[in-house]
């Protein structure tokens, strides 16, 4: 479960940090992130030092903290924004779609992706890979 708490920032103000709790309320991932998303498919996007990355349910980093924004598409694909453009990466870190798009969004529970490039929109079908 996503949790947040305010801490003194050292300048007389407060700063909010995010982390994750288990069902009993025990902290399982420390409150060290600037922002966080709910877990989807065992993954969550989190922000650290102004950059987004992806962690798994144990807190291990799956995708490094180098992106401007992140959206979990499904159990194997993530859309990411870098240098103002969007692309798609798999959870192994391999680029599935180059960072050429102005926007990529999920549609119909992740079965389709809507992508915008140069003011034009299109729909990409996300194909499921079979297990070996």
In sequence order, what DSSP letters do the residues of 87-125 get, joined into one string?
EEEETTS-EEEEEEESEEEEETTTTEEEEEETTEEEEEE
Domain boundaries, the chain: 2-125
What pLDDT band is residue 31 in, cutting at 50, 70 and 90? very high
Cα(120)–Cα(61) distance, rounded to whole angstroms? 34
Q: Which residue has the higher pLDDT, 128 or 56?
A: 56
Percentage of residues in the chain with pLDDT exceeding 70?
91
pTM, 2 dp: 0.83
- Structural contact between residues 87 and 71, judged by C-beta atoms closer than 8 angstroms: no
Q: Reduced to 3 states, what is the DSSP secondary structure of residue 85?
A: strand
Q: Which residue has the higher pLDDT, 127 or 90?
A: 90
Cα(5)–Cα(18) distance, rounded to whole angstroms? 7
- Structural contact between residues 37 and 50, judged by C-beta atoms closer than 8 angstroms: no
């Amino acid at each position: 479960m996503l949790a947040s708490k305010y801490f003194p920032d050292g300048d007389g103000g407060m700063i909010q940090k995010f982390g994750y709790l288990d069902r009993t309320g025990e902290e399982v991932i420390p409150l060290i992130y600037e922002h966080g998303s709910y877990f989807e498919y065992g993954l969550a996007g989190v922000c650290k030092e102004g950059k987004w990355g992806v962690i798994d349910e144990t807190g291990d980093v799956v995708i490094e903290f180098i992106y401007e924004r992140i959206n979990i598409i499904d159990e194997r694909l993530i859309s990411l924004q870098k240098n103002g453009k969007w692309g798609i990466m798999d959870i192994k870190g391999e680029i599935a779609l180059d960072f050429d798009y102005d926007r990529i969004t999920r549609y119909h529970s992740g079965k389709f992706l809507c992508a915008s490039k140069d003011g034009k929109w299109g729909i990409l079908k996300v194909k499921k890979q079979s297990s070996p």
